Structure 1
Amino acid sequence: MFVECRGTYAWSSKVCLIFLQVFALTISMEESVALASDGVFGNSESVINRKPARRKLDDIAGSINIDCGLPEDCKYIDAETGLQYTSDASFIRSGINKNISSKFSSTTLHKSLTNVRSFPQGKRNCYTLRPPEGHGTMYLIRASFMYGNYDELNQVPQFDLYIGVNMWDSVKLDNASHLVMKEILHAPSDDDIYVCLVNIGYGEPFISSLEVRHFHDSSYKTESGSLALYRRLDAGSTTNEIVRFKDDAYDRIWFPYNLPDCESLNTTVPIDSHAETEYKLPSKVMTTAIRPMNSSASLDFDFDIGDSTLEFYVYMHFAELEGLQENQTRNFSITLNGNPWGEANIVPKYLHSRTVNNKQPVRGSKLKFSIYKTLNSSLPPILNAMEIYMVKGLLQAPTCQEDVNGISRIKSFYLVEKNWQGDPCAPVQPWDGLTCSNNGYESPRIISLKLSSSGLRGTISPSLLNLTALQFLDLSNNSLTGELPEFLSRLSFLTALNVTGNKLSGSVPPDLIARSEKGSLSLSVANNPDLCPSAQCKENKNSVGPIVAAVVSSLVIIFLALVIIWSLKRRKKATKSLVRSPEETWSLKMENQRFRYLEIVSITNDFQTVLGTGGFGTVYHGCMLNGTQVAIKMLSQSSKQGMKEFRNEARLLMRVHHRNLASLVGYCHEGTNMGLIYEYMAGGNLQNYLSGADISTSPLSWIERLQIAVDAAQGLEYMHCGCKPPIIHRDVKTANILLSEKLQAKIADFGFSRFFSIESETHATTAVVGTIGYIDPEYYISNRLTEKSDVYSFGIVLLELITGKPAIIKDEDNIHIVQWVRSFVERGDIGSIVDPRLQGNLNTNSVWRVLETAMACLPPISIQRVTMSHVVMQLKECLEEEKAHDQTRRMEEQATKSSNLIDLYSLDLELEMGPEAR
């Protein structure tokens, strides 16, 4: 969330003054305690040595309040609030302190905004926060930014803000006096929370203040990810003041909000005075509300989102403020974009708050809410307060924890002076001297560590053993002493070790020498005067040793021979009992996911609802006991080919897991009854959307099509690049791209999929399978299957997304879509290619780029086609370009109707504070 403080508008000065007064008014401490050296309220020793007891929900004494840029060892208590701020010196090791220009200072400006910490060095700089509650709990994290021309350049910078390794938001300021605040609800998986500022080439990042508040774990929940504040509104405010702590126990900031054609109502009696509620809503907010002036009208308001791919959680808060007579009732319902939302019949309680929210995230280019009274209601609807949060998906995995532990110990062991902050491998770039592997699907691993000429002293740290994926280690030109440890030979992936120019002694471990002689390890040990590089350096301290070794070796050989003879005899007898059918093999591996046939009958309600049929059998809709919907593919007993596909799909799905591949929930194998249970994709398949077969669905927008293309491409890229050995799908088509209710795309139907069992294998000779129109022509002619066969099929999918036409266009004399498109491309006629249902609501440049990407997938010779990695990269760039275009178009539309909008405070997405009236 951000708040504008501009001096160019008549109303801005008043708003600024209100906000800055409230900013300085926030929190007073009931119990004064000394601030720990790490900036956390409470005794520093207790914070370091033990996890503190759980606090009361309204006790924010464990909060972190950082004045960024305050000199080291400084702290102060605000004279008006008692809120204690501390320097950020103990939270970050980089950056410089600066004061804003005196031109922007004033007596009403909160002290934390008068100075900043700036970061002229490094691509990324990270704060490390460790709140006393530890991981697994929800925190409200707020970062504030006011430029104030601190560098006297009068050039407002722009930069990115990250929470851990994932993007939080971009920081954009309009002018030097513009105050920007970003707020997020985040539950970290580790005790440390990293807040990182990333330089994107538009000026040096800076920050004014950073605050952390503990939150009730169960109040705000998501399926995954964190919640960034989009709107928080105090409806019907009579004072036009911002409300926060102590009125709000969680220090949420509430902004006043009113609508035209509505009137305010209020009460002086406190709300929830005798009850503890889950959301702990401030009484000052809940004692006011709005209602339509026309008692028969509804409360209508829009939020113009623009980007239909964004997801939101909405919380509406209600409390009855009027003592109703016996003949009076207030009942109402809510719709979102014309569909029922929340609870069906809402009856607010007198002087008691009630929250209505959506259990699943919602999305759309515009969120249109209507609160209307029901038929049995005599009074109009009301709204006391509302919150909207944007889902921030945490898709990027942090560095492998074992690697983090190892490199952190190495940092402490050697007192490394480098700018090692935040996660070792992300975001943007790894720590100086580190190289990380990152395929986008798994946690990054540290594969190279270069600490050459870093002033290292002491022995070689055993914490290097934690870096189990390490391939290159350079410790050269330091002052390391002691022996070259044997444990380095246990780093099985190590291919280069350089310890030249140190003070090591003793001899090189034999295993390292052996690997060096075989050529699997590049070993550099020169310029260590007391280190012997030969395997013959060790003294022979026991002359009996070689004789004993020879005798023992002979006995071992005799013993092994007897064991082998006995094993061969036993193996013949046991052969039959050890041979298992493929079904038995995968059944054993999936025992924890096995369902009985009677359970399948119950889940499908006796196979009542059919979702589809194929050569393998029929797919049924089912609902498990916990409410989870599933799709169950039952094998037809008469299907010979289906049995083969069934086994193949089961074996494949046991080993591949990706967010863009349909996942396996379990299986059934009971006699002749065999079935696979998958996650249910409520949106059906992409073919139905594009063909218009499902009349209940609206046409996909261009941004939605691009997002689907990116999702599907990432699934295929994972199969080709993220799996070892790689997997070829062999039947990529729109019918095999399933969509969730939120239009997330997943590749499905792996019955024809094929592993490349040998890593060096470039192709496989196999019978042609697939669907007419999508089959790679080279594969069809030569039976030579490669990853590029999937690329060709995906090119057809892209053409279908652009045109809305099938692979074989029947109303054009069964012409293939490639031929049909090519005829228009040669004339440069993009308008005739694009699906007319898009109605011109797209960026032509974006369409051309996707079309070019599709055509790059479709050369008849496979070697001329691009890879799926290239396709993913191109499509992501197109998606970002289209989002930017859509944002510009939306802003232009907003400008044309600005006279009808309500002038309120600007928040996170540069949109108006409140929704527009309808």
Structure 2
Amino acid sequence: MGIKKLYNVTRNWQGDPYLPSEYSWDGLKCGDNNHPMIISLNLSSSNMTGEIASSFSNLKAVQSLDLSYNDLTGPLPEFLAQLPNLNALNVSGNKLTGSVPEALLQKFRDGKLVLSVGENPDLCMSVPCKRKKKKEFDIPIVASSVAAVLVLLFVFCDLAMYRRKRQGDMVTKSNIKSKNRRYSYSEVVSITNNFKTIIGEGGFGKVYLGKLKDETQVAVKLLSTSSNQGYNEFGAEAQLLMIVHHRNLVSLVGYCDEGEKKALIYEFMANGNLHQHLLVTNTNVLTWNERLYIAVDAAHGLEYLHNGCKPPIIHRDLKPSKILLNKHMQTKIADFGLSRAFATENDSHVSTCPAGTLGYLDPAFQASGNFNKKSDVYSFGIILFELITGRTAIVRGPVKNSHILDWVNPLIERGDVQNIVDPRLEGEFNTSFAWKAIEIAMSCTPSYAIQRPDMSHVLVELKECLALEMAYERTQRMAIEGNLTTSNTPFKMTYLEYESDIVPLSR
């Protein structure tokens, strides 16, 4: 409660955090009946400011602590290393300064701590802090086994995965958000060069390519008078998008609202949508790792809508065409503003307007007519199967259509992973990690919503899947190059080298 008061945490923290389980506190997990103490605390993206308070030192049983993507400042405290059970610490995406304490680094080297400290520009991985022109850092490791190397690489992959987004994130934060404004219809005409270039069409109407005065490209969605979404929903979407910001959600640059002339102006996503990339006619086939990156990015965006927004936002029409990619191949979810944001979590099953697309629509919704967060989880699972298999959700047939689950379930029962994964990959994937991705997709798609996990769990599993894949590839390369050794040789790498080796998404 001291943490909640100090940082003004707006989470549902009322009553007993342990029992009953259905009313457990947001982002907080407790141990078993014999040890009902806090073992996990996730305060990611909670708008926390200031230094890391000493109150955290009271969490003696905590095993996982996630403080990522806040605005925390000051040093990384020494007392974190004194938490006896802590085995995972994530402080990525803050403004921490100074050096990572030696005690934390030692636990990291010993394989006792998964440490994520990326996207803290002024935080050093050495004691004392030494600035190097190439942002190089040395971490000596006694590599007594391949497992020790894998633990280290697991962390490096996590850092690299988010570091690749940094350029795109900086654009979003420094430029896009600052342009939130209301435009006149005449300005919209000018931005689109009199609606010259159509780049898509959605529920609102046509989408046009536009350019602002500073040459920033944008996508302008013009609300047609025949739109089945209606004018009332337009106002709701515009107001919602003005206050919802996340690196994996398409940002609203501005909007127009002049009588019947209504438009939404979004950031432009140069690499189109996921549906286009998965088409069999697309010769530029996504690699297995690219597909995992896209899945993790999309999961981040959806998890934020569900758990980072209060009240939560249900997308209700998630599909590959709603998953867009910018010029850096960073993935962002679009058109979530049409979702219904509910007053309370208990009311989140209520739906007053139809949504969803055949193939991605929750079977529970088709039976009851009610949407909830688990409806989005089902849609996400279908998209994940599409990424894995390269097939569409619905395959049109001469007699009847077939659903991707009807096709994939018998293959899963036979354990036929080779025929499940997209044949266009030509076997360029690790079978074990492919199975993990398949299992994640399976967990999202049971017919009964209660059997599906929360998106926070799906996100954790996907990040682990990606990190293990990248770590495995790295160790394979090191073994081939003769660099995997059991000596005391320091493992030395620059951020620039690591990015060029690990991150294949920019084209």
Task: State the TM-score bracket (shorter-chain normalisation).
Answer: 0.5 to 0.7
**Is 2:435 the counterpart of 1:862?**
no
> Who is 2:275 aligned against?
687
> Who is 1:166 aligned against?
117
> Who is 1:908 aligned against?
493
Q: Is the 8 A contact 2:168 2:330 kept in 1?
A: no
Judging changes above 3 Å, is the alpha-carbon distance between structure 1 residues 195 and 211 closer, same or farther for their aligned structure 2 residues? closer
Counterpart among 228, 250, 261 of residue 135 in structure 2: 228
Aligned counterparts of 1:726 and 1:825: Cα–Cα separation in 2: 33
**Is 2:320 the counterpart of 1:734?**
yes
> Who is 1:621 aligned against?
209
Judging changes above 3 Å, is the alpha-carbon distance between structure 1 residues 675 and 879 closer, same or farther for their aligned structure 2 residues? same
Residues 35-81 of structure 1: CA deviation (Å, up to 9, x unaligned): xxxxxxxxxxxxxxxxxxxxxxxxxxxxxxxxxxxxxxxxxxxxxxx
> Who is 1:844 aligned against?
431
Counterpart among 875, 888, 913 of residue 475 in structure 2: 888
Aligned counterparts of 1:694 and 1:758: Cα–Cα separation in 2: 43
Residue 414 of structure 2 aligns to a residue whose secondary structure is coil
Judging changes above 3 Å, is the alpha-carbon distance between structure 1 residues 608 and 802 closer, same or farther for their aligned structure 2 residues? same
Residues 252-277 of structure 1: CA deviation (Å, up to 9, x unaligned): xxxxxxxxxxxxxxxxxxxxxxxxxx
Residues 856-885 of structure 1: CA deviation (Å, up to 9, x unaligned): 111111111111111111111101111111
Count of matched residue pairs:
379
> Who is 1:724 aligned against?
310
Aligned counterparts of 2:130 and 2:353: Cα–Cα separation in 1: 62
Aligned-residue CA RMSD in angstroms? 4.2
| Aligned counterparts, 1:343-742, within 5 A | 393=166, 593-692=181-280, 694-695=282-283, 698-742=284-328
Residues 544-585 of structure 1: CA deviation (Å, up to 9, x unaligned): xxxxxxxxxxxxxxxxxxxxxxxxxxxxxxxxxxxxxxxxxx
Bigger helix share:
2
Q: Is the 8 A contact 1:615 1:642 kept in 2?
A: no
Judging changes above 3 Å, is the alpha-carbon distance between structure 1 residues 811 and 714 closer, same or farther for their aligned structure 2 residues? same
Q: Is the 8 A contact 1:906 1:912 kept in 2?
A: no
Judging changes above 3 Å, is the alpha-carbon distance between structure 1 residues 393 and 741 closer, same or farther for their aligned structure 2 residues? closer
Aligned counterparts of 1:736 and 1:653: Cα–Cα separation in 2: 15
Q: Aligned-pair distance for 1:621?
A: 0.9
> Who is 1:830 aligned against?
417
Residue 826 of structure 1 aligns to a residue whose secondary structure is helix
Counterpart among 116, 129, 135 of residue 210 in structure 1: 129
Aligned counterparts of 1:591 and 1:161: Cα–Cα separation in 2: 38
Aligned counterparts of 1:869 and 1:783: Cα–Cα separation in 2: 25
Q: Aligned-pair distance for 1:765?
A: 4.6
Q: Aligned-pair distance for 1:811?
A: 5.8
> Who is 2:394 aligned against?
808
User: What is the one-letter code of the residue matched to 1:210?
Assistant: C
For structure 2, which runs of at least 5 residues remain unmatched after alignment? Answer: 1-74, 87-94, 139-155, 170-177, 484-489, 502-507
> Who is 1:777 aligned against?
363
Residues 12-48 of structure 1: CA deviation (Å, up to 9, x unaligned): xxxxxxxxxxxxxxxxxxxxxxxxxxxxxxxxxxxxx
Judging changes above 3 Å, is the alpha-carbon distance between structure 1 residues 825 and 604 closer, same or farther for their aligned structure 2 residues? same
Q: Is the 8 A contact 1:766 1:785 kept in 2?
A: no
Residue 324 of structure 2 aligns to a residue whose secondary structure is strand
TM-score, normalised to structure 2, is 0.65
> Who is 1:763 aligned against?
349
> Who is 1:549 aligned against?
none
User: What is the one-letter code of the residue matched to 2:441?
Assistant: A
User: What is the one-letter code of the residue matched to 2:135?
Assistant: A
Judging changes above 3 Å, is the alpha-carbon distance between structure 1 residues 616 and 196 closer, same or farther for their aligned structure 2 residues? same
Aligned counterparts of 2:345 and 2:496: Cα–Cα separation in 1: 52
Residues 227-263 of structure 1: CA deviation (Å, up to 9, x unaligned): 73499xxxxxxxxxxxxxxxxxxxxxxxxxxxxxxxx
Q: Is the 8 A contact 1:752 1:769 kept in 2?
A: no
Judging changes above 3 Å, is the alpha-carbon distance between structure 1 residues 778 and 672 closer, same or farther for their aligned structure 2 residues? same
Q: Is the 8 A contact 1:652 1:750 kept in 2?
A: no
> Who is 1:373 aligned against?
none
Q: Is the 8 A contact 1:648 1:750 kept in 2?
A: no
Q: Is the 8 A contact 1:161 1:195 kept in 2?
A: no
Bigger strand share:
1
Q: Aligned-pair distance for 1:703?
A: 1.4
User: What is the one-letter code of the residue matched to 2:396?
Assistant: K
Q: Aligned-pair distance for 1:802?
A: 0.3
Judging changes above 3 Å, is the alpha-carbon distance between structure 1 residues 693 and 755 closer, same or farther for their aligned structure 2 residues? farther
Q: Is the 8 A contact 2:393 2:403 kept in 1?
A: yes
Aligned counterparts of 1:906 and 1:196: Cα–Cα separation in 2: 13
| Aligned counterparts, 1:136-285, within 5 A | 166-167=117-118, 188=122, 195=124, 207=127, 209-212=128-131, 228-229=135-136
Aligned counterparts of 1:610 and 1:158: Cα–Cα separation in 2: 53
TM-score, normalised to structure 1, is 0.37
Q: Is the 8 A contact 2:181 2:255 kept in 1?
A: yes
Q: Aligned-pair distance for 1:719?
A: 1.2
Aligned counterparts of 2:311 and 2:410: Cα–Cα separation in 1: 39
> Who is 1:744 aligned against?
330
Counterpart among 441, 450, 462 of residue 875 in structure 1: 462
Q: Which of structures 1 and 2 has the bigger CA Rg?
A: 1
Judging changes above 3 Å, is the alpha-carbon distance between structure 1 residues 777 and 122 closer, same or farther for their aligned structure 2 residues? closer
Percent identity (aligned): 46
Q: Aligned-pair distance for 1:395?
A: 12
Residues 812-839 of structure 1: CA deviation (Å, up to 9, x unaligned): 9521001111011111101101011222
Counterpart among 782, 786, 789 of residue 375 in structure 2: 789
Residue 707 of structure 1 aligns to a residue whose secondary structure is helix
Relative contact order (C-alpha < 8 Å, sep 6+): which is higher?
2
Q: Aligned-pair distance for 1:775?
A: 0.5
Q: Is the 8 A contact 2:285 2:424 kept in 1?
A: yes
Q: Is the 8 A contact 1:616 1:645 kept in 2?
A: no
